[in-house]
Amino acid sequence: MDIIFYHPTFDAAYWVSALEKQIPGARVREWKRGDNEHADYALVWHPPVEMLQGRALKAVFALGAGVDSILSKLKAHPEMLPLSVPLFRLEDTGMGQQMQEYAVSQVLHWFRRFDDYQLLKSESRWQPLPEYHRENFTIGIMGAGVLGSKVAESLLAWGFPVRVWSRSCKAWPDVQSFAGEAELGEFLRETRVLINLLPNTAETAGIINHTLLMKLQNDSYVLNLARGVHVIESDLLQALDSGKVKGAMLDVFSREPLPAESPLWRHPRVAMTPHIAAVTRPREAIRYIAETIGQLERGEMPGGQVDRQRGY
């Protein structure tokens, strides 16, 4: 079995060695330009077209939860990967726990009004504030995949009302479920904290815009953990300036790294991190890839396969 690996920033030597230990008999190599030798599987992140084109692969693994970079490249170069070759993504592999940590810490930060206290500190003001109550602090999660379910589970444990919006209704215990465009307004009306975990598709690009933000509760919060293209940044800034949205925490942006001239850097009600909410953890990812390859070799069809029409 031959496996090729490409990632522009990962330690390729570590991955090659760890994969060979995890998959007995496998020959793993870092792919470099000009390498046209046989391969059964490819592990990739932002792969060059020539890496995959023309190969008789059994499967391709994206080394992250998102596959939009591969799918966007396939639109321009459909010959890069035939539809007959299954494409898999890392559904969790440690990302679920990271998303839980991020979401819970930020929701609690807003719920306990630490954002307000930081602003008071900057003014040297000692002023206890009225507390918020959980029953009025409903969390609305857009996106009901593996990561969305993990985040919902973690917030329920803290006693917050949780609702979710996705393509189809979910039967999750203690979670209100809304589906489709027809129920989006109802989902937003009672939402105090909006958490975005949607996949990046043609339908979801720009979904967090002026119209959507105006349907949220007053003094709401926005937490974007998915993709920067989901948010119209100028609309979000307008909602913040008007007071409709009280605060935003952003991990992803329409341009990355975020340009120095972006007004997001300077807005007092915007906090941000540099796309680190959930990163690929090699040990968990390698274990998942090894198990999935084992299933494929046995003729089984494991979970995690991407539906290229849906985009996730």
Whether cis (ω within 30° of 0) applies to the bond prior to 257 is yes
109 catalytic, yes or no? no
Q: Token digits for 24? A: 């007995």
Exactly one of 29, 109, 275, 281 is catalytic; name it.
275
Mean pLDDT of the chain: 97
Band (91; pLDDT cuts 50, 70, 90): confident
| pTM across the whole model | 0.94
Note the pLDDT of residue 219: 98
The pLDDT tens digits of the residues spanning 148-181 come to: 999 999 999 999 999 999 999 999 999 999 999 9
The pLDDT tens digits of the residues spanning 242-251 come to: 999 999 999 9
Note the pLDDT of residue 62: 97
Q: Which of 162, 143, 153, 168 is nearest to 224 (CA)?
A: 143
Domains of the chain plus CATH, in order, are 2-91+280-298 (3.40.50.720), 95-272 (3.40.50.720)
275 catalytic, yes or no? yes
Distances (CA, A) of 278 to 1, 147, 197, 222: 31, 10, 12, 18
The pLDDT tens digits of the residues spanning 176-228 come to: 999 999 999 999 999 999 999 999 999 999 999 999 999 999 999 999 999 99
Exactly one of 89, 192, 227, 230 is catalytic; name it.
227
Q: Token digits for 129? A: 């504030």
